[in-house]
Structure 1
């Protein structure tokens, strides 16, 4: 039978590699690819030319075209070897990717760091709660002289005595007391020992004796190691039978937290000042004007009434004077590298200062509330400056962030870097800023104030109300943060905030007047001051029924109350 001749393969059925091996020209590429390669070849570095030269000097071995039955074997052997065009294409792609898309190392971006100072940074720090006064406390000259007279007359004798300091919140009682105590320590040196206790930080009233002993002696005396009566006996002996002639000054701030059913604790500490040879100087501080006459009637029956010093609320003129003094103090410390000193003193418009002072004096007279309003006004002014001088790309990123999960409505906490030119006028706090803040802080009902909060602020407030109901007492900031995190983790519908963001939410809630926060103090169980003020006690200033009415349309927050039931 005649053998059928084998059909020869044509080049058209061969692959691109075989066509290159046979030196058969390939069809041209698309115009777009040709333009891309031409434009890329203009910017190729010298190593591309070196690669071409190297491939010309050492040409690859071209295998025999696969035209025999061993075609499959030769094709597989040929495919596993890299082609010269592939080598050149890989080098080209690497170089083009390096030059077309600059990395973060070759093109540094504008730093967005919280450490970038601005003209508003130092001013806001001066109006921050707990920042302290840059100098002497203003508008409290009569009270300062009365305190100095009380301490100096009793320490120089020496003799025991008691003083009750009363006044509304934010009138400078604790701040002036700390200032006068520093002067007394400098004047008398080792002749006095001071124990400054914030009763709000004590877990229960009976532990105040342990705190007093620890502050005076420097040793921890726990109630569990000795009975309550033995603790009071140790302190009584310390006050009456002390070998040295040191005067013991005991300051009980927030003294009304020691009130019990029989008032035994308050009677005990006041009775120590009436003992023979006692060296105790007791100073109680509280908001109630009639605490001694209302809760301690036996003292009057025994013909023993402590001296009383009352602090009156700040007037509008006094509040305006204190705010202007702080701005002047800040302008004297401003460095020329940060901004011009004359700008710092005019960050708040004089009319805005007067509006803030009058609004605060008409409502509470609380100087801390006026500071909160000024700080919030500086936040708004800084936001205006950021929108004016910051790069537009950074502003767009800030505006695209969801406002629901941000603890504060201002953009200052995001710390977008911006620089105010020296010839430009920075935005200042105006009347409209202060009016907007005061309408939230003072105006409207409790439900309206809660409605103005964002989601995270409402969540923290709900966690506080639920925690107080469960514990039947006020919480510390640390306990509230743990309770808030547990509630968020249980539902998994709301991400919990970081510790720093949580503290900013606490400050915002205090500005809105929906929580009450104690001053910094010692805790008997911890034996020292807590960092970041986490041992401060916090209590809600809204009723649970009002809060439920305000968050009735937010299902995840209503579940906070249902899970605690």
Structure 2
């Protein structure tokens, strides 16, 4: 009897432990609710029922577990894979397809967001924002290589500034955008600024526009009733004169005690502020500088993919885009060049499709089968690696490239030296500077330099070939040397040689 009593007591305790809320687990809650004599549950496979959870009973609709199975279908990775799978290849025979693809890759097509330039854009916006909030004049110099997004960033900054002013309730400054290449004379920039600032009927006819602006920004009574003015001067290096007076006077407009002028200058020359505006530094009014570096391979590839994402079809093979990004980054980092190369590659595919269709029609008429290679190529409707390679060669390999590649080594070193000296927007150099750069390269690479007479003869040969232009001077060392070919041609011609690739590397 005692053994039977103890056994019954153990059963009671086990039942109490089972029903205890402290030991209740979510994973076994369904099993505890089932009767001990119920039949086993047959679980549904997730492949059989997409709307149910793998751990749901047959009668469940799948919404009780983790919010339902439908949430997992909308994950970013699944959506991306779905887009990649569903996106069909395009039809290069369809004119609308070709037009859409080319428009997406055109320079004039501005992207909705500027990628890889967020930091630079924020610096410019914060500068403008602080100047408007404090109603304080100031100057900013935006510089960088061509095709690095300087002008495009300014358009986005103007939109940001307008949205911020409307949200904060502050008065938006008048914005004047000037492309300095459109000016007949460099001093006409002051006429444009004056025309936007004050009507002609209120001006003093005896004063020049520059004098009137100086007077206007020096008197509190006249300037206090004026709005802040944001002046964006693109291609600023076109204002460089012999005495640099125009550039100096333009930046000085922001230094007057009651100036309402916010000036942003944009140019390619990285060291323009140091070379042409030394007096501004002495007056403690040197502009702030924002530098745009050349795009890297990863950045170019990212921007190309961004532009192509919105297309409803696949245009390029992934390796073709990678080749374009790698080559353009190695030569110049110019995004406009990359877009141009991609458009040229599309045109090459168009030409190939037309040629193959003509040959196929001819073969059909003659009842002869088309070659297997032709059939295979006609089936591939996207831009391949070979299309991109030809487009790159046509874009960068000019006749000058072949000439440079056939030169003797020391003449190539001279061209390499010129490129290093004129990099950053400088237009020319001198024979003396070039001699020193040539000797430095030879010394660093342990190459015996040639004599001064032979070196002078090499300058003459390069001048005769149209690669350099030598100026006139009584002192031979002061003769000006101008590079007559594109820097990108020199870089492209010599990039296959490690020695020159290291010499031309930007520090």
TM-score by length of 2: 0.53
Secondary structure at the aligned position of 2:187 is classed as helix
- The residue number in structure 2 matching 1:358 is 326
- The residue number in structure 2 matching 1:126 is 104
* Residues 326 and 425 (structure 1), Cα distance of their counterparts in 2 relative to 1, 3 Å cut: farther
What is the rounded CA distance, in whole Å, between the counterparts of 2:216 and 2:95 in structure 1? 51
* Residues 383 and 309 (structure 1), Cα distance of their counterparts in 2 relative to 1, 3 Å cut: same
After TM superposition, the structure 1 = structure 2 runs for residues 186-201 of structure 1, keeping only pairs within 5 Å, are 186-188=163-165, 190-201=171-182
What is the rounded CA distance, in whole Å, between the counterparts of 1:390 and 1:214 in structure 2? 60
Determine whether 1:430 maps to 2:430: no
Cα contact 2:217–2:257 (8 A) shared by 1: no
- The residue number in structure 1 matching 2:436 is none
What is the rounded CA distance, in whole Å, between the counterparts of 1:214 and 1:126 in structure 2? 38
Partner deviation per Cα, 1:202-237 (whole Å, 9 max, x = no partner): 1121111122234455x689x9x967x521123334
Q: Cα RMSD between the aligned structures?
A: 3.3
Cα contact 1:194–1:216 (8 A) shared by 2: no
After TM superposition, the structure 1 = structure 2 runs for residues 199-238 of structure 1, keeping only pairs within 5 Å, are 199-216=180-197, 230-238=208-216
Cα contact 2:342–2:391 (8 A) shared by 1: no
Instruction: Give, in angstroms, the shift of residue 298 of structure 1.
Output: 0.9
Secondary structure at the aligned position of 1:267 is classed as helix
After TM superposition, the structure 1 = structure 2 runs for residues 92-111 of structure 1, keeping only pairs within 5 Å, are none
Instruction: Give, in angstroms, the shift of residue 445 of structure 1.
Output: 4.6
- The residue number in structure 2 matching 1:149 is 126
Secondary structure at the aligned position of 1:213 is classed as helix
What is the rounded CA distance, in whole Å, between the counterparts of 2:484 and 2:110 in structure 1? 25
What is the rounded CA distance, in whole Å, between the counterparts of 1:448 and 1:297 in structure 2? 41
What is the rounded CA distance, in whole Å, between the counterparts of 2:361 and 2:209 in structure 1? 65
Secondary structure at the aligned position of 1:251 is classed as strand
Instruction: Give, in angstroms, the shift of residue 425 of structure 1.
Output: 6.1
| From 328, 349, 361, the counterpart of 2:317 | 349
Instruction: Give, in angstroms, the shift of residue 387 of structure 1.
Output: 4.0
What is the rounded CA distance, in whole Å, between the counterparts of 1:391 and 1:438 in structure 2? 27
- The residue number in structure 1 matching 2:295 is 314
* Residues 364 and 306 (structure 1), Cα distance of their counterparts in 2 relative to 1, 3 Å cut: same
What is the rounded CA distance, in whole Å, between the counterparts of 2:108 and 2:335 in structure 1? 12
| From 155, 166, 178, the counterpart of 1:178 | 155
Cα contact 1:239–1:248 (8 A) shared by 2: no
Instruction: Give, in angstroms, the shift of residue 171 of structure 1.
Output: 0.5
What is the rounded CA distance, in whole Å, between the counterparts of 2:230 and 2:130 in structure 1? 13
Where structure 1 has 5 or more consecutive residues not aligned to the other structure, the ranges are 1-115, 332-340, 395-423, 451-513, 515-539, 547-565
| Number of aligned positions between the proteins | 295
TM-score by length of 1: 0.48
* Residues 206 and 269 (structure 1), Cα distance of their counterparts in 2 relative to 1, 3 Å cut: same
| From 272, 275, 296, the counterpart of 2:277 | 296
What is the rounded CA distance, in whole Å, between the counterparts of 1:293 and 1:275 in structure 2? 22
What is the rounded CA distance, in whole Å, between the counterparts of 2:317 and 2:401 in structure 1? 31
